[in-house]
Structure formats: structure tokens, C-alpha cells
Structure 1
Amino acid sequence: MLDRLPVPGIRPYIPGDTGNATTWSVPVRYKTVPGLTVPRIFAGEMTSAVVQAATELVREGAQLITCGCGYSIRYQEAVRAAVDVPVFLSSLLLAPFLEKTLPANKALGIIVADKSALTQDMLEMTGLRADIGRRVVVAGLEDTPAGPALLKGEGGDADIGAFKTEVVNAAVALQKDRPDIGMLLLECGDLPPYAAAVQQATDGIPVFDYTSMVEFFIGGLIRRPFTGLL
């Protein structure tokens, strides 16, 4: 977990957010990385502190390591090398898989907290090809009025209703600009609560996020017998 800035304001982790334990189908253990604020994760700083948090979680029994910020892709390889359990630090790891499933005439849309912070090398860290071109389209929420309180932990109370509208509007605008978008990926761990509203507003196209990625792995970690008719 990122370390929230010590500024006034109520910014809850609502159901669906990666920071809300009721989001998940299995028990969760959280660990904040002291000093790992949004500016520092954008800059890719504090690798050793992130690795330490991950190794502590594994010692405490974690069977999967994830994070709440898609820009933590910068730490994916360092953490993966340090622990002996699967590591899924960024929802952006879904991008190459989703792009591969799309028809040749369709594109993947990605909605991110801050478009300027998502560099080409970060996309390549996910496994996307450098020549992906128009197959991947990115829209950012950095200029939304309600976004800073939720996405960057800046001062003021979070306005959940307003932010939901802003996320939906960003998705609709992206789809209008690029009608060839066949899937959407929500980068930030604060965005899954709005996935259903985004899907409804974008004519029902598939929408993926952190929960899609983590729950996919949980499905393999905890297998149950099939039941049904013979």
C-alpha cells in the first residue's frame, strides 16, 4: 500500500477498491510502505522498501503479492526476484494478454490516474511490444476536479459521486474518440468500484482492472470440484 500524504480530508477505500478488504474473495493482509507516496511511485523510487514489504508479507503467510497502484510496474521484477510466490504488482500486466485477444481491427483502451506518468518503457515492462502503436490508447484522469483527493491523496474530502461521473465521462470520451476500442483496462486500484458504470456507459464492452487480475489467480490458487449434471 502507498503511504498517504498527511493532509486533512476523508478519503475512504470503498468496496471494489483494492484497499478495501471486502473487495476480495479471500483474506487479505495489508502493509503500508512508509514514505512511498504517489510522487515517489511515479518516479520509481524506494525499490528496496517495496521489496522489504513484500518479503515481510510472504513471511507472514501471503501466497500472492499485489499492490494498489498500476505504476508499481516499476517494482515488478525486483519483487519477483526477491520472493517465492507469484507477484502481480500492476493491473497493467493484463495489457499484453488483453491486446492479444482482440481482433486485428480493435484497440485496447487504458484509463490511468495520470497519463503523463505512464511512459513507453513502463508499457514495455508489462510485456507489450514496443511497436504496439494504435493498438493501445491511453486516457488520463489527472485533470479531473475530484481526482486529486482520491488518486493522489491530496487534501480535501473525496467526492465519490463526482469522481464516478468523471471516470465514466473519461471512458465515454475515449470511446467516442476511438470507436475501434474493444476493451477497457482501468489502471488504478481506486477505479474498480466504477467498472460496472463504465461498462454500462460504453455499450457493454469488456472492462478489466486489478480485481480481474487478482481474482483470476485466486481461481487457480483455490480450486474446487465441479458439480453439475452428467
Structure 2
Amino acid sequence: MIGRALGVLTTEGDSVLPRGYVANPETFDFPIITEKVEGAHMDRLWARDSSIEPALIVAAERLVKRGAVAVASDCGLFSWHQPAVAAAVDVPVILSSLLLLPLLLRQASRAAKIGLLSVSLPSPYDDAALGIENSADRSRVVFGGCEGAYEQSVKTRKPAEVTISEKMAGLEADVIAGATRLRASHPDIANILLTCTAFPCVAPALRKKIGLPVYGITDLCRLTMGALH
């Protein structure tokens, strides 16, 4: 058992990305342990297949038994199962960066918008996933996509015949292009929330390029683990 570790639920067929990725042990200054969710293939997640929920709960329970003091995930599409997993284990559950959205809405002026950057448009997240009931708050949330080569690799999870450095260069280009388009459409954006768990790998470059605060799942993990230590 690893003491005071962050547990990370992972999808089937996942590949570990460089530092900055939630399932990479080098990303944090605390230990992580991972547990693969049986049957959690990307096509099922995009289709919001509810039948994977029992396996998700089982994997979360295993993480807690192994010493996890909080449970995160390596795919934002697990967000639809946040209530069920949170009800099943007695540790904080943070399956998606979307949990930061209420904080970001109140952090900024009511005249400002929050940009949600996803793998592609239309956004896969509905109002229930966003967790926002106030219509005024909902109107401040705008969506952007990062359509490109990385989008296809995420949706198919097929091994690409490229090096990690080449893959990250492509990811950085796609994310920066997506954020640039989003900001051009909505100049009143105050900050950007990354919904894909791979995007924090290139968050430093994105912050430098657009000059806005950028948040993602790794920030939520650090916040949660900091409160537990």
C-alpha cells in the first residue's frame, strides 16, 4: 500500500503522456496509483454508455483499498459518473476539471466569460455535466474545440507512428489554435478551463501564448491533495 496517494482511474488502451499528464507519476510531488476501468474504451465514453459505471465504481473502490486518499481520472468524459463514484467511496472524488467551473465563474467579473476547451466541437458536456443551474452563469460559459490530428488519436486511441515529442508538438499546436479561435470569438474570456486530461501537458505554453489563467485537472488534483496533507 502507498500512503496518501492520489488514485487515478484510467481508460482502456491508454498511453502515458509526459509530465503534466494526470496519470504520469512525474507530474506531482505526491505519489499516484492507477486502476484501469474494465471496458472503458473511448467510443463508449463518447457515447455516454452508462453500463461502464459499475466497473468504474469497482475500480475506484480498489484504489481506496490500495491507499488512495482521493480519486481522479485520466479522462474528462468520466464526469458523467461523478455522483455515482462519489457516493460509493469515502474519499474526495475529482473525475473532471469541470468541478472547478463554479469557482472560476465567481473568481471573475460577472461580465466575463469562462472558456471551456475540449477535444472537439460540439462540446460533449451538457448542462448536467457542467453542474450549473443558474441561467446567468450558464450564459457565461463558452466552448472551444481543438480539432486536429490529436482529436483523432483521442477518439480512436489507435497507436500513432510518431514519437512522444512529435505527439506533444501536435497537441500543443492544436490546443493553442483552439484557444486562439475561442478567444477571437469571445474576447471577454477571463480564463480557460481545459476539459481534456492531456491538455495540461501543454498548459505552460498555452498560458504564455494567450496571457490568460489556464486551469485543468492537475490543478484540481493539487488543490485536493494539498487539503489532505
Instruction: Bin the TM-score by the shorter chain.
Output: 0.7 to 0.9
Instruction: Please list the CA deviations of residues 124-146 of structure 1 after superposition, one character each: whole Å capped at 9, or x if unmatched.
Output: 3xx453553430111122x3123
Q: 2:169 aligns with which of 137, 141, 161?
A: 161
Larger radius of gyration: 1
Are positions 1:68 and 2:74 aligned together? Answer: yes
Deviation, structure 1 residue 103: 0.3
Say if 2:23 and 2:32, in contact at 8 Å, map to a contact too.
no
Are positions 1:187 and 2:195 aligned together? Answer: yes
Which one-letter code corresponds to 1:111 in the other structure?
A: L
Which one-letter code corresponds to 1:208 in the other structure?
A: Y
Instruction: Please list the CA deviations of residues 74-108 of structure 1 after superposition, one character each: whole Å capped at 9, or x if unmatched.
Output: 11111111111111111111111111111021100
Say if 2:144 and 2:181, in contact at 8 Å, map to a contact too.
no
Where does residue 226 of structure 1 map in the other structure?
none
Write the distance in 2 (CA, Å) between the matches of 1:12 and 1:76.
Answer: 23
Q: TM-score, normalised by structure 1?
A: 0.86
Return 5+ residue gaps in structure 2 as ranges.
1-9
Q: Secondary structure at the match of 1:41?
A: helix
Say if 1:67 and 1:88, in contact at 8 Å, map to a contact too.
yes
User: Alignment RMSD, CA only?
Assistant: 1.8
Counterparts in 2 of 1:72 and 1:128: CA distance versus 1, 3 Å = farther
Where does residue 129 of structure 1 map in the other structure?
134
Write the distance in 2 (CA, Å) between the matches of 1:21 and 1:185.
Answer: 22
Aligned residue pairs total 213
Write the distance in 1 (CA, Å) between the matches of 2:153 and 2:44.
Answer: 17
Say if 2:105 and 2:137, in contact at 8 Å, map to a contact too.
no
Are positions 1:40 and 2:44 aligned together? Answer: yes
Counterparts in 2 of 1:129 and 1:155: CA distance versus 1, 3 Å = farther
Q: 1:208 aligns with which of 211, 215, 218?
A: 215
Are positions 1:16 and 2:13 aligned together? Answer: no
Say if 1:33 and 1:49, in contact at 8 Å, map to a contact too.
yes
Which one-letter code corresponds to 1:2 in the other structure?
A: T
Deviation, structure 1 residue 12: 4.3
Q: 1:54 aligns with which of 49, 60, 70?
A: 60
Q: TM-score, normalised by structure 2?
A: 0.87
Which one-letter code corresponds to 1:219 in the other structure?
A: G
Write the distance in 1 (CA, Å) between the matches of 2:176 and 2:144.
Answer: 12
Write the distance in 2 (CA, Å) between the matches of 1:130 and 1:68.
Answer: 30
Where does residue 3 of structure 2 map in the other structure?
none
Where does residue 12 of structure 2 map in the other structure?
3
Are positions 1:112 and 2:118 aligned together? Answer: yes
Say if 2:114 and 2:192, in contact at 8 Å, map to a contact too.
yes
Q: 2:88 aligns with which of 65, 82, 88?
A: 82
Counterparts in 2 of 1:128 and 1:151: CA distance versus 1, 3 Å = farther
Which one-letter code corresponds to 2:200 in the other structure?
A: P
Write the distance in 1 (CA, Å) between the matches of 2:49 and 2:72.
Answer: 16
Return 5+ residue gaps in structure 1 as ranges.
6-10, 223-230
Write the distance in 1 (CA, Å) between the matches of 2:133 and 2:19.
Answer: 30
Indicate the structure with greater strand content: 2
Deviation, structure 1 residue 3: 0.4
